[in-house]
Amino acid sequence: MKFQSIRGFKDILPGEIEAVQRLERAARSVFESFGFSEIRIPMLEVTELFARGIGAATDIVEKEMYTFEDRDGKKITLRPEGTAPVVRAYIEHQLSQKAPVAKLYYLGPMFRHERPQAGRFRQFYQVGVEALGTDRPAMDVEVLAMLMAVLQRVGVTEVRLELNSLGDSACRPHYRKTLKAYFKTHLAELCEDCRRRYETNPMRILDCKKEGCRAVAAKAPSPLDHLCADCLAHFQQVKDGLNRLKIPFVVNERLVRGLDYYTRTAFEVTTTKLGAQNAVAAGGRYDGLVEELGGPPTPAIGFAMGVERIATLMERIATPTPDVFFALLGEEALRQLLPAIVRLRGLGVRIEMDYSGGGLKKQMGLSDKLGARYTLIVGENELKSGKAILRNMSDKSQAELPLSELDQSLPELFKKP
């Protein structure tokens, strides 16, 4: 039987993983410079966490979650997103008692049973942040600045930041009624899903990607025209803050996001280079979610970045190649050089070798294939003389190198700038 990966579950191979690693390193560096700390959250949570947190009527909960019963009969779910688990951890471990604002970031896989296509997988990776404990617009600006800084750090600059405000519990109910009144006259033009959303959450009709629904939504009342004074002031301060930082953005009045917990600020970063799956990062404010999940009233904001999509936009990074290939001829050469190889690797020198015990021609061919910068040749004659032959693989020049000085000379030769 020939085994293959499950549809929608993708291996990330050498040649691809380097961009992912670079993105993760950049994210860690930027987040920590902003005072954020890493949190590791489980991949499995009780299903009710997502039903209550994301919204029972969302597509994620209704159609996309990997949910099953464990051996105790409890319904559990592979996490489809990171915010609800972080909020659960925030409440469970009473992080509000440790600092006025909890500034957290996470990295890892998420799972949704969607139709796989370019840029969309059933197991996908996200880098995300959550800031819990303040409703000040300055935190919205800081989070957005941090997001754009990560993208700039990895060279992804041809993107667009889209911004909207969804109001709060004071003004959204009135907007919801206005929106229902508008869509009531267009129900026949909406898809089946949006006719259901009309009853459960009419704002989500604005997020539908089907052409007929988009045409109807384009003429729908704008949430910005129904903001209360506090929400309007908050949104204006966010825009003013971005302008002061010279971070370009556009206001998208139809941007609502696909999760029910968002309030006030909502945003996406999009690109024209990925086709239909054009969002590379998204997030917003969720001031009621902590309380909804059993915690104290706690304003919060966060975002998640799509790792695979951003990696696709990054310049291809070469797979690391060996600094030096050890061409060891005979068992005695291997026995005597192996301790030095282990020590040198510990000093940061990337070393490869031939484990099959082939001859010099074969080993030189393997060194060339792996792209080694140098080849260190040690056989019976070199052991007797105490000097290895170091060959430069680019210009084929050679020099003798005392075996007793490998620990000093090779790290110096391959010293990283």
Assigned CATH for 324-413: 3.40.50.800
142 vs 215, higher pLDDT:
142
Q: pLDDT digits over 93-142, tens only? A: 999 999 899 999 999 999 998 887 777 889 999 999 999 999 999 999 99
Q: pLDDT digits over 162-181, tens only? A: 999 999 988 888 888 888 88
Distance CA 375, CA 396 (A): 10
CATH architecture type of domain 17-171+227-313? 2-Layer Sandwich (3.30)
Question: Among 381, 382, 401, which Cα is nearest to 391's?
Answer: 401
117 vs 16, higher pLDDT:
16
3-class secondary structure per residue, the chain: CCCCCCCCCCCCCCCCHHHHHHHHHHHHHHHHHCCCEECCCCCEEEHHHHHHHCCCCCHHHHHHCEEEECCCCCEEEECCCCHHHHHHHHHHCCHHHCCCCEEEEEEEEEECCCCCECCECCEEEEEEEEEECCCCHHHHHHHHHHHHHHHHHCCCCCCEEEEEECCCCCCHHHHHHHHHHHHHCCHHHCCHHHHHHHHHCHHHHHHCCCHHHHHHHCCCCCHHHHCCHHHHHHHHHHHHHHHHCCCCCEECCCCCCCCCCCEEEEEEEECCCCCCCCEEEEEEECCCHHHHCCCCCCCEEEEEEEHHHHHHHCCCCCCCCCCEEEEECCHHHHHHHHHHHHHHHHCCCCEEECCCCCCHHHHHHHHHHHCCCEEEEECHHHHHHCEEEEEECCCCCEEEEEHHHHHHHHHHHCCCC
User: Tell me, what's the pLDDT at 183?
Assistant: 85
343-28-108 Cα angle (round to 5): 95
- The residues near 177 (Cβ < 8 Å, ≥ 6 apart) are none
- Where does the pLDDT of residue 56 fall: very low under 50, low under 70, confident under 90, or very high at 90 and above? low
60 vs 93, higher pLDDT:
93
Q: pLDDT digits over 147-167, tens only? A: 999 999 999 988 999 999 999
Burial class (CB in 10 A: 0-12, 13-18, 19+), 371: middle
Residue 115: C-alpha distances to residues 7, 9, 66, 111, 118 (Å): 9, 11, 13, 12, 10
User: Tell me, what's the pLDDT at 377?
Assistant: 94
User: Tell me, what's the pLDDT at 416?
Assistant: 57
Query: Please, are residues 131 and 299 in contact by the beta-carbon 8 Å criterion?
Result: no
Sheet of 250-251, strand order: 37-38, 102-111, 123-132, 300-306, 279-285, 263-270, 160-165, 250-251
Half-sphere CA count of 130, side-chain side, radius 13 A: 30
Burial class (CB in 10 A: 0-12, 13-18, 19+), 192: exposed
User: Tell me, what's the pLDDT at 194?
Assistant: 86
Tell me the percentage of the chain whose pLDDT exceeds 90. 58
Residue 320 has pLDDT above 70, yes or no: yes
236 vs 186, higher pLDDT:
236
| Mean pLDDT, the chain, whole residue set | 90
- Range(s) within the chain of domains with CATH label 3.40.50.800: 324-413
User: Tell me, what's the pLDDT at 180?
Assistant: 87
Question: Among 312, 350, 354, which Cα is nearest to 329's?
Answer: 354
Which region among 88-102, 380-394, 401-415 has the lowest average model confidence (pLDDT)? 401-415
Residue 297: both structure tokens together: 């009233």
User: Tell me, what's the pLDDT at 58?
Assistant: 67
CA dihedral 397, 400, 405, 409 (to 10 degrees): -20
Residue 280 has pLDDT above 60, yes or no: yes
- Range(s) within the chain of domains with CATH label 3.30.930.10: 17-171+227-313
- pLDDT average, residue stretch 284-300: 93
- pLDDT average, residue stretch 370-375: 93
Residue 256 has pLDDT above 60, yes or no: yes
- Where does the pLDDT of residue 26 fall: very low under 50, low under 70, confident under 90, or very high at 90 and above? very high
**Tally of CB atoms within 10 A around 214:** 14
Distance CA 409, CA 268 (A): 51
